[in-house]
Chains A and B, each alone.
Chain A
Amino acid sequence: MIGRVIDAVKKKIDGRIPAEVDAKVEQTIRETCNEWGYSEWGYSLDWIKRQIAISWFLNRRYFRTTVSGLSNIPEGRFMLVGNHSGQFAYDGMLIGTVMLMNADPPRFVHAMVGDFFSYAPFYADLMPRLGQVTGAYENCVKLLNEDRGVMVFPEGENAGGKVFFDRYKLYKFGLGFMKIALETRTPIVPFGFIGGEEMVVSFSRMEPLAKIAGMPYLPLSPTGIIPMPVKCSVYFGNPMLFKDDPFDDDVVENNVERVKSEIRNLIDKGLKSRKSIF
């Protein structure tokens, strides 16, 4: 019964995938998939087309996302590092779509997600189909060594659930991403995402309740999981290539601070040039 409903919805979406989305997804990831359209990493051609078709529509019509600095994305491997917001990872979805649909040539990015998600039914199924990968050190290194792009939120999954009074604050950054970047000689592209904090306004993380549900946080939001039609913008900074010793923690920490301040600048720039939330 549920299976039939899901199949019907799938068919409906498949019939309405814009030709542009179809072409760009085929162009970027067809080579890495087998004859059933699945790659070794678990992402599926069909699922990515469905997701991009929906989020591209939202990008243009609902969030009216503006992008600047896309020409900064280098060829070959790269690591997108930015601020996390949006309660339900809408920011990651929108940036992934921007990279595939607005960048020339289109780039497919793998979001690194917390391993909490591999325990969660349905999400554990959907997560790899859309190219998201459990954020383990080894996984990230393997992706970068294959010259792919990854997206990292070094604040961690907790930062996705910032309450409204903490909006556009940057939490403490983890060091892991910098160690990986140093080890694999990957350029880091910092970005600032504006609009995510107003999309789903949260007044409390309701942690005791979230704990029962086995989640990191549960936003107390007037709109529930539905995002408000705020105007979003993404600012990509210049790529930063570091060439230090990945095992020297002091140097790593220093580099992380440099990336963090770069992101801070991008966010400030974006907030200053924003005229209205909607």
Chain B
Amino acid sequence: METIVITGVCSAMGRLLAEKLAQTRNVIGIDKKTWKGAAPKTNFTFHKTDIRKRGFTNLFYKHRKSINSVIHLAVSKNYTLTPEKLHEQNIIAARSVLNRVMEYQVKKFVLLSEHSVYGALPGNIMRLKENSPLNGGRIFKENTSIVEVDLMCTELFWAAPEIETVILRPVNILGPKTRGLLNTYLKLKAAPSVMGFNPMMQVIHEDDVVSAVEIALQPGVKGIYNVTGPGSLPLPVLADEAGLKRIPLPAPLAKNTIRFVAPAIYKLGRRLFGMESFPFPVSGLSYFQYMLNIDGTSFRTATGFEPEKSLAETVESIK
């Protein structure tokens, strides 16, 4: 049976993947957080270790003969950390994983990146291809590390061409469990939005992303691919469907509300009612201001991937 390593397995996407893949494969889950709740009963082992530390190297050495594939999910999008801290964490973690993958000649390496690496900019054209420049960090500073990890992994294509490397860049992931940028925003009760801007948002259901990763694990699949879902909708429609009350504010005011006012309210809420801290980065607001539309046809033609969930089902999942 194949053995797969999933880094960052305690993330929502990691859990979904572990549950799905453990049905047919051996899954070794690695995360520095503790696994909470029920784990898949068979074919799954969890190791609590930091992938930047020795523990991870040892673990890899121990299982070096059986590991066939690595799925790298440990790219932190915890925007409550400072951009510098986030950058340091993500880059060192990716370096460590890439080194192990090359050292032990793992057959398959999959990185689940995201479409935000292209950046939402006012001059964007429709349907960006995979070879479009990665401008994700230009406005959205917290995103720089995600862009850099994506670029670091392309190193495998020339440094270790025998490894089948797949980089997936899915559009906004919606679903009851995952915590993407749009998903987090839509799950708030009320939030500021930028007045006078309502770009179309491409969406995909989390289950479809799981099946896209499963397809990427098939032997022979190799390359950088955009993954698109069943369609796109403008932000107000999504907000209405999700029951989010938008408060349209002029751009500078919206930014400052997210930067100062909202965290203060949340801080008070945490003291009084034990609410979670405010998870939304200011510069991420550019995604709700300018258009970002990517082209997923090359993944579909190369692998025959089709999203199973319709647009209505995808939108239904955030209610």
Residues of A within 8 A of B (CB): 2-3, 34-36, 38, 40-42, 44, 115, 118-125, 128, 133-134, 136, 138-139, 142
Known: A123-B196, A136-B125. 10 other contacts (CB 8 A): A36-B237, A38-B232, A41-B126, A42-B199, A44-B234, A118-B123, A121-B251, A125-B197, A125-B198, A134-B125
CA distance A122 to B234 in the complex (A): 14
Given A3-B248, A34-B233, A38-B233 in contact, is the A121-B122 Cβ separation under 8 Å? no
Which chain B positions have C-beta within 8 A of A128?
199-200, 291
**Shortest beta-carbon distance from B136 to chain A in Å:** 18
Smallest Cβ distance from B251 to chain A, in angstroms?
Answer: 7
Chain A residues, Cβ within 8 Å of B251: 121
**Chain B proximity of A127: nearest CB distance (Å):** 10
8 Å CB interface, B226-254 against A = 231-234, 237, 248, 250-251
Which of B125, B196, B293 neighbours the largest number of chain A CB atoms within 10 Å of its CB? Answer: B125
Which B residues lie within 8 Å of A121 (CB)? 194-197, 250-251
Asked if B311 is an interface residue, CB under 8 A from chain A, the answer is: yes
Which of A2, A42, A44 has the largest number of chain B CB atoms within 10 A? A42
A interface secondary structure, majority: mixed
Question: Are B234's CB and A34's CB within 8 A?
Answer: no
Can you show 11 pairs from A to B with CB atoms below 8 A apart? A3-B248, A34-B311, A38-B232, A42-B291, A115-B123, A120-B196, A128-B200, A136-B125, A138-B125, A142-B126, A142-B127
Pairwise interchain contact A118-B291, C-beta atoms closer than 8 A: yes
Q: What is the distance, in angstroms, from B194's C-beta to the closest C-beta of chain A?
A: 8
Contact of A134 among B123, B195, B237 (CB under 8 A): B123
Pair A34/B123 contact, Cβ less than 8 Å: no
Select which of B194, B198, B200, B250 is within 8 A of A40 by beta carbon: B200
Residues in B lying within 8 Å of A, measured CB to CB = 122-123, 125-127, 194-200, 231-234, 237, 248, 250-251, 290-291, 293, 311-312
B231/A40 in contact, CB under 8 A:
yes
Q: List residues of chain A with CB within 8 A of the CB of B122.
A: 115, 118-119, 124
Q: How far is the CA of A2 from the CA of B195 in the complex (A)?
A: 11
**Residues on B with beta carbons closer than 8 Å to the beta carbon of A125:** 196-198
Residue numbers in A under 8 Å from B127 (CB-CB) = 142
Residue of B nearest to A119 (CB): B122
Task: List residues of chain B with CB within 8 A of the CB of A42.
Answer: 199-200, 234, 291
Residues of A within 8 A of B237 (CB): 36, 38
Report B-chain residues with C-beta under 8 Å of the C-beta of A120: 196
Q: Is the CB of A122 within 8 A of B311?
A: no
Question: In the complex, are the beta carbons of A38 and B126 less than 8 A apart?
Answer: no
| B232 engages A124 (CB within 8 Å) | no
A227 to chain B, nearest CB (A): 24
**Is the pair A35, B125 in contact by a Cβ cutoff of 8 Å?**
no
Q: Contacts of B234 on A, CB cut-off 8 Å?
A: 38, 42, 44
B126 interface neighbour in A115, A122, A133, Cβ under 8 Å: A133
Instruction: Quote the shortest CB–CB distance from A59 to chain B (angstroms).
Output: 28
A36-B233 in contact given A42-B200, A125-B196 (Cβ < 8 Å): yes
Alpha-carbon separation in the docked complex, A142 to B234 (Å): 21
CB distance from A221 to the nearest CB of B (A): 24
A120 to B250, CA, bound (A): 12
Tell me if B248 and A38 are in contact (CB < 8 A). Answer: no
Complex formed: what's the CA distance from A33 to B311 in Å? 12
Checking B125, B195, B200, B250 against A38 with a beta-carbon cut-off of 8 angstroms, the contacting residue is B200
Residues in chain B near residue A134, CB distance under 8 A: 123, 125
Instruction: Please name all residues of chain B whose beta carbon is closer than 8 Å to the beta carbon of A36 when the two chains form the complex.
Output: 233, 237
A119 neighbours in B (Cβ, 8 Å): 122
Per the bound structure, the CA–CA distance linking A115 and B195 in Å amounts to 19
Alpha-carbon distance between A122 and B231 when the two chains are bound, in angstroms? 23
Q: How far is the CA of A119 from the CA of B123 in the complex (A)?
A: 8
Decide: B232 and A40 in contact? CB cutoff 8 A.
yes
Going nearest first, the 3 A-B pairs with the smallest beta carbon separation are: A121-B196, A122-B196, A118-B122
The docked-state distance in angstroms from the alpha carbon of A162 to that of B177 is 56
Chain B residue nearest to A133 in the complex (CB): B126
Q: How far is the CA of A134 from the CA of B123 in the complex (A)?
A: 8
Q: List B contacts of A3 (CB < 8 A).
A: 248
User: CB-CB < 8 A to B195: which residues of A?
Assistant: 121-122
Q: How far apart sit A139 and B250, CA to CA, in the bound complex (Å)?
A: 29
